[in-house]
Structure 1
Amino acid sequence: MSLIINLVLMVFLLTIALAVLKTKHLFAMAMLFGLYSLLVAGLFVVLDAPDVAFTEAAVGTGISTVLMLVTLASIKDGHEAVSTGKTRLGPLIICLMMGGLLIYGTHDIAELGDIQSAPNQQVAARYIEKGQEETGVPNLVTAVLASYRGFDTLGEVTVVLTAGIGVLMLLGQRRKIYVKTKGGSRAE
């Protein structure tokens, strides 16, 4: 059953990705990105990663979509179409190379659901057996996120905080408007 759900989600993700590539309207593109992120969060739930799904739903679907819509609202004409200028080959080549490297990097990852893989045989068993004893935290998920992977969690929170502060700084800046006068120009 989970394979069928995965395939349906992947078909929807591919369809939305193609729609993003074909659309010319920025508002529609922002909404499609939000929907894409929501489906990715659903895929994470199916893959038994609810913590990653919550993060994707909050940051990807919520914050990113809101930031894109705020950006569209703050520009002069939010309904203008994307320019259809020259196609740039450089970014496409870089994307294809990075995608190839990511696919190559997945060859060392254990098979999904393989009970004989090292994480399932060693790490998970240790967390379950000694988690409460070593950390003093009764909730196993909290013990893993806060104690065993505390620095990783701190890094993730720092990245989100830094991104939030950067966005607030960008949105808080007022643009200077230069008004032409007879003797030159002045900022307002």
Structure 2
Amino acid sequence: MDIVLFIFLVMTAFAVVRTQSLFATAMLSGVFSLLSALLLVTLDAVDVAFTEAAVGAGISTVLMLGTLALTSRFERPPSHSPVIPLFVVLVTGAALVYGTLDMPNFGDPNAPAQTHVAPDYIGRSPHEIDVPNIVTAILASYRGFDTLGETAVVFTAGVGVLLLISGLRRRRRKEKEDV
């Protein structure tokens, strides 16, 4: 299942890069986010999948569609050579890959997170928090400020969408009045 979802992700990413219609690009980006959320669910990262579905597929898609309502629907031909942006992307990608070279393997039982952090949370959670689900205890208590920050980001994005929509309605009303 993971491989099938990953293949769909790659195909969707290729379609996003190749399409000229900005509306299709916005929709395909939403599909990409939903596929990412599904892949995260299969990897047992449901909390991250929920955030990806809400922010990536939901709010980001609505923001892109709101932006499209204010701009043109098709991409203009580039006025400059794509060599410099391609160079920047390749250098950034190489730096990101270089930064992951000394990371432990996925699921390594000897990784620092498994030998130091996880046993501490498992040992302290039942006594300090008294919540039977350790993941919930970590997200709601130990990482409470981080979760609050994520909630604030989602809230701010929602307010931004509402402001965009209200501005678009006012603009359309004004255009109708001018005609």
- 2:24 match: 28
Matched position secondary structure for 2:101:
helix
Task: Note the residue ranges of structure 2 that are not aligned, 5 or more in a row.
Answer: none
Q: Assess, with a 3 A threshold, how the Cα gap between structure 1 residues 71 and 18 changes in structure 2: closer, same or farther.
A: same
Structure 1 or 2: more helix by fraction:
2
Partner letter of residue 50 of structure 2?
F
Q: Assess, with a 3 A threshold, how the Cα gap between structure 1 residues 90 and 172 changes in structure 2: closer, same or farther.
A: farther
Matched position secondary structure for 2:78:
coil
Structure with the larger RCO, 1 or 2 (CA within 8 Å, 6+ apart):
2
Larger-gyration structure (1/2): 1
Task: Note the residue ranges of structure 1 that are not aligned, 5 or more in a row.
Answer: 180-186
- The structure 2 residue matched to 1:96, chosen from 90, 99, 115, is 90
Give me the whole-angstrom Cα distance separating, in 2, the residues matched to 1:177 and 1:52: 40
What does 1:30-179 align with in structure 2 at a 5 Å threshold? 30-72=26-68, 74-75=69-70, 80-86=73-79, 87-173=81-167, 174-175=170-171
Give me the whole-angstrom Cα distance separating, in 2, the residues matched to 1:34 and 1:152: 25
Q: Identity of counterpart residues, as a percentage?
A: 51
Q: Shift in Å at residue 133 of structure 1?
A: 0.8
Q: Shift in Å at residue 23 of structure 1?
A: 0.7
What is the TM-score of this pair, normalised by structure 1?
0.78
What is the TM-score of this pair, normalised by structure 2?
0.81
Deviating 4+ runs (over 6 angstroms)? 176-179
Partner letter of residue 153 of structure 2?
V
Count the aligned residue pairs.
Answer: 174
Partner letter of residue 23 of structure 1?
T
What whole-Å deviation, never above 9, does each CA across 1:115-148 have from its counterpart, x for those lacking one?
Answer: 1212122222222222021123333222100211
- 2:11 match: 15
Give me the whole-angstrom Cα distance separating, in 1, the residues matched to 2:156 and 2:90: 29
Of residues 43-52 and 155-164 in structure 1, the stretch that sits farther from structure 2 once superposed is: 155-164
